[in-house]
Structure formats: structure tokens, C-alpha cells
Amino acid sequence: GIQVEQSPPDLILQEGANSTLRCNFSDSVNNLQWFHQNPWGQLINLFYIPSGTKQNGRLSATTVATERYSLLYISSSQTTDSGVYFCAVGSGGSNYKLTFGKGTLLTVNP
Amino acid sequence: NAGVMQNPRHLVRRRGQEARLRCSPMKGHSHVYWYRQLPEEGLKFMVYLQKENIIDESGMPKERFSAEFPKEGPSILRIQQVVRGDSAAYFCASSPSRTEAFFGQGTRLTVV
């Protein structure tokens, strides 16, 4: 099956800093989502982005499908951004079946 | 528009009991998915259902686990004769079509 690798595994930032999270995948995809799992365990949708670039406030994401990677940018980080960020992909006719990466654990200190 | 609703949020069962997890999809969503998050394995797909039909259950354990999405009412994930290894967070997601999935808050099952 498709492999998803996220980097870095852990990231510690001071409030106000910017960061870039990366997601590499081993095959072509037609479904890609970014999620934030907050410290209470909730999975929050950030982006549905199988290709192209999107922005939502301080967050933006870019997927370069031909090169099999996606990037999540967080600007002016806040303590509430802390948690685990997951990339999940789907491909082909079973693109509903999301394969998740292991996540990036982000800690934002005040 | 309410999000995906899962209940209960936390469930404690003794070994050998049954666990029933409920999921109400977002309004207008007819596709429901269940995922399990185990500490060492991450989030894994279990099953995909549409109203009254199981479309893909390739991620479901072969025994003790079943899922349904009846014409009326929520989707149910049922685990019979629970064992300690079933302790995990179970997430339900829904979508209007086979694209972007929206996740519920999860049910944390603890087997004692």
C-alpha cells in the first residue's frame, strides 16, 4: 500500500515563530487531507488539498502531486496550535480509504 | 450545521462485554467511515458504509467487530467480547461524496 512519511516528527517553537511541516507519499494520490489533533484528542480538518495551494488565516498548504509531497505552513504560531498534525492520503478508486502518516508533534511555548 | 457526533465520548467495558459506539454523520452526508487509533499503530481505516450497505470492510478485524449504517438512525460500530487490546480511540468520519472526510470527536474505549 501507499506509504506516508511526515517530518519532522517533533517540533518545539516559541510563540510567534513560523514553521513548515512536510508530508511525502510513495505513490500518486487523488485525496490528501491535513488534520490537527489537539491535546484533547479531537481531529480537526485543516485542508483538503490533493493538489495546488490553499490558505486559511495563519495556515496554508501546498501539494505538488507530481513530486509526491505536501507542505503545511504555520505562521505566527500560538500556544493553541500545539498538538499533532497528520497528513492523510487516498489514491485510485479507493481514495476514500485514508492512509495516515505518523504525524508531527508540535509544541508551542509561550 | 452540526459536525459529526459520536457517543459516548468515553466508554469503559470489562473484558468479555460488548461495546457499542454510535456515530451521527453531518447533515447531508451519506458516506460514513470508521477509523481506529492505537498508541503504537496510529490511525487506521476500518470500514466504509453507505446507508444500509457496507462498501469496504477491509480494515475490520475478522472476528468480534461489526458495523452498520441503517436507513434510519446513527451508524453503529459493535465490538463483541472485548479484550484489552481493543482499548483505543475510535473515530467516525462522514462525507457528502467520496472526497473530503470530516471527523467526529472520537470515542475512547477502555477495556478493564
Residue A1 · residue A99 · CB < 8 Å: yes
**What confidence tier does B77 reach under pLDDT thresholds 50, 70, 90?**
very high
All residues at 6 or more sequence positions from A27 whose CB lies less than 8 Å from its CB, including other chains: A2, A68, A91
**Confidence (pLDDT) at B2:** 74
Percent of chain A scored above 70 by pLDDT? 100
Least confident of A54-58, B38-42, B106-110: B38-42
> What are the residues of chain B with a beta carbon less than 8 Å away from any beta carbon of chain A?
31, 33, 35, 42-45, 48, 56, 58-59, 89, 91, 95, 98-103, 105-106, 108
Percent of chain B scored above 90 by pLDDT? 88
All residues of chain A having their beta carbon less than 8 Å from the beta carbon of residue B58 are: 97
Please tell me which residue of chain B has the smallest CA distance to A49: B100
d(CA A85, CA B66): 29
Residue A47 · residue A36 · CB < 8 Å: no
- In angstroms, the Cα distances linking B5 to A47, B1, B8, B104 are 20, 11, 9, 6
All residues of chain A having their beta carbon less than 8 Å from the beta carbon of residue B59 are: 97
**Confidence (pLDDT) at B1:** 53
d(CA B66, CA B78): 5
d(CA A49, CA B50): 24
Predicted confidence (pLDDT) at residue A15 exceeds the cutoff of 70: yes
Please tell me which residue of chain A has the smallest CA distance to B96: A96
> What are the residues of chain A with a beta carbon less than 8 Å away from any beta carbon of chain B?
31, 33, 35, 41-45, 48, 86, 88, 94-103
**What confidence tier does B22 reach under pLDDT thresholds 50, 70, 90?**
very high
Check A102 against B42: CB less than 8 A apart.
yes
Check A31 against B99: CB less than 8 A apart.
yes
3-state helix, strand, coil in chain A (%, to 5): 10, 55, 35
Residue length of chain B: 112
Check A102 against B31: CB less than 8 A apart.
no
**What confidence tier does B24 reach under pLDDT thresholds 50, 70, 90?**
very high
Question: Which of A3, A22, A33, A10 has its CA nearest to residue A71?
Answer: A22
Distance from CA of B27 to the nearest CA of A (A): 17
